[in-house]
Amino acid sequence: MAEQLDPRREAVRILDRVERGGAYASALLENVEPRFRDRRDRALLHALVLGVLRRRPAMDHAISRLSSRPLEEIDPELLQVLRVGAFMLLEMDRIPTFAVLDVMVSVAAGLGGPGTAGFVNGVLRALSRDLDAHRVDAPSPGVVRQLALALGHPAWWTGRVVERVGWDEAVELLEADNRPAPTVIRVNRSRSTPADLVERMSAEEVSLTACEYVPGAFRVEGVVQATAAFAEGLAHIQDEGSQLLPLLLGGSLSGRILDACAAPGGKTMVLAEMADQGSELVAVDRNESRLKKVTQNARRLGHEGIATVVADMATPAPSVEGKFDHVLVDAPCSGTGTLRRHPEIRWRLQVDDLARLAARQEKILTGAAALLAPGGSLVYGVCSMEHEEGAGVVAGFLERHPEFTVADPGPNLPESCRPLVGDDRFVRTSPVIGMDGFFGALLRRAE
């Protein structure tokens, strides 16, 4: 007899694969959620997985106070059972305590091993007797360790944020990281207009709300992927910050255009819309399988003639021919600007990773810049909020390449986006203003 699909049991499995297998929760959820017919089960699974990842320190804090074993001695999958159970008890008041205990003890029993069900029953039952006693207190102002525990971020990273922006802004950012990221789409202007897209989606019971900064970007209420309008390529799912980055190059692009780290192709599609008739767009990525997604997206959206090249821009001589008038470098990074969508990054990233990532980012920037024609424009960007990966990489590059200067992207941007340009001429976005966190810089090469 086939095992009955249960969102709590599936949440444990996903969390275990995320922690021990290095998988991304969003990808696993995308594969598993369609197997649940009831949308309430899909919603519960989604809430449990992302909720536990966002609130893991608070769950571990409660479990460690009640467990007879140290956390590091608990079987990893059994620990996920406890975390899911603790999250439901502490964060989901609408689920009756008896239901939480019953199902999580059943999940534990299914893992096998002597005493697993009894161990889980004991910890969760003890927690349920006095939930308030095991909730994390609000942090005292200035106490980084308490802030990290209360808002579910690593202490080392929380300390960096407080040092960079101050206590109050750090609290705002960490709270924003814990809010669900909205689904955002971009109108495909080669096939539709913002007004027409709103009308089409409304007819299919999907509500669109215009985003604050990028024209043609909309927040979505409803399942946009199930609409005929989406299937016809009238829109593409893409965060507003991601849509913004290519716009730093200007509204209309002629000549040769290079997307140096293209996969899976969201920004390539924006560049395709910006490209003038007769221009040439080349999408490059070192991952051949991910580069195929660029071709798939282009086909669905009706963008023809995008050339794809498998190459690593960090190598001294990337296998890309000729010079380009416009180059976009969206470099692989820590992803700290995407913690709303990928909360597992919090628990994988280490402080030493930043220097390693920045070194590779500068190599990629250097490789891409070598392909820029004199007088050309290059945008360097990362979905990171770390100085080392943003302004630090640009500063290091400029020291070695005096023929490049930082340009003001303001005149290139829609008026609604210009407030995002700082005094240093860099663009920075943040979850606090409803976008993923991006850094962007416009560089120009001397004639």
Q: Is 335 known as a binding-site position?
A: no
Q: Is 417 a catalytic residue?
A: no
Phi/psi at 427 (5° precision): -100, 130
Q: State the pLDDT at residue 30.
A: 93
What local confidence, expressed as pLDDT, does residue 1 receive?
Answer: 35
Among 32, 87, 430, 413, residue whose Cα is nearest residue 251: 413
Please tell me whether 102 is known to bind a ligand: no
pLDDT exceeds cutoff 60 at 382: yes
Q: Are 377 and 407 in contact (CB under 8 A)?
A: yes
Distance CA 443, CA 151 (A): 37
The mean pLDDT value for 22-38 works out to 93
Answer yes or no: is 261 a known binding residue.
yes
Stretch 374-389: mean pLDDT: 98
Q: Which residue among 211, 333, 383, 417 is the active-site one?
A: 383
Architecture of domain 7-134: Orthogonal Bundle (1.10)
Q: What is the pLDDT of residues 120-133, one digit of tens each?
A: 999 999 999 999 99
The answer on whether 285 is annotated among ligand-binding residues is yes
Structure tokens at 121: 């029953």
Q: To the nearest whole number, what is the mean pLDDT of the chain?
A: 96
Burial of 240 (0-12, 13-18, 19+ CB in 10 A): buried
Is 292 annotated to bind a ligand? Reply is no
Question: Where does the pLDDT of residue 37 fall: very low under 50, low under 70, confident under 90, or very high at 90 and above?
Answer: confident
**pLDDT of 268-283, one tens digit each?**
999 999 999 999 999 9
Give percent of the chain above pLDDT 90: 95
pLDDT for res 2: 42
262 carries a ligand binding annotation? yes
Q: Report pTM.
A: 0.94
CB atoms within 10 A of CB 378: 26
pLDDT of 84 over the 60 cut: yes
Structure tokens belonging to residue 198: 């709103």
Q: Check residue 42 and give its pLDDT.
A: 94
168-192 per-position pLDDT tens digit: 999 999 999 999 999 999 999 999 9
**Section 350-375 average pLDDT:** 98
pLDDT range class, residue 112, cuts 50, 70, 90:
confident
Between 237 and 315, the higher pLDDT residue: 237
No. of H helices and E strands in the chain? 18, 12
pLDDT in tens, 220-258: 999 999 999 999 999 999 999 999 999 999 989 999 999
How is the chain split into domains, by residue range?
Answer: 7-134, 144-177, 184-237, 242-445
pLDDT bracket for residue 3 (50, 70, 90) = low
**72 CB neighbour count, 10 Å cutoff:** 7
Q: What is the pLDDT of residue 318?
A: 76
The DSSP letter of residue 5 is: P
CATH architecture of the domain covering 242-445: 3-Layer(aba) Sandwich (3.40)
The burial of 340, by beta-carbon neighbours within 10 Å (0-12 exposed, 13-18 middle, 19 or more buried), is given as buried
Closest CA to 208 of 219, 197, 216, 200: 219
Q: Under the phi-then-psi rule, with left for phi > 0, alpha for psi from -120 to 50, and beta for the rest, what region is 94?
A: alpha
Say if residue 266 carries a ligand binding annotation. yes
**397-416 mean pLDDT:** 98
On whether the 184-237 domain is CATH 3.40.50.300, my answer is no
* Region 294-315 average pLDDT: 95
Q: CA-to-CA distance for 281 and 209, rounded, in angstroms?
A: 31
pLDDT (0 to 100) of residue 319: 80
Judge contact between 413 and 421, C-beta under 8 A: yes
DSSP string, 113-171: STTHHHHHHHHHHHHHHTTGGGSPPPPPTT-HHHHHHHHT--HHHHHHHHHHH-HHHHH
DSSP bridge pairs for 220: 208
Average pLDDT over residues 310-327: 90
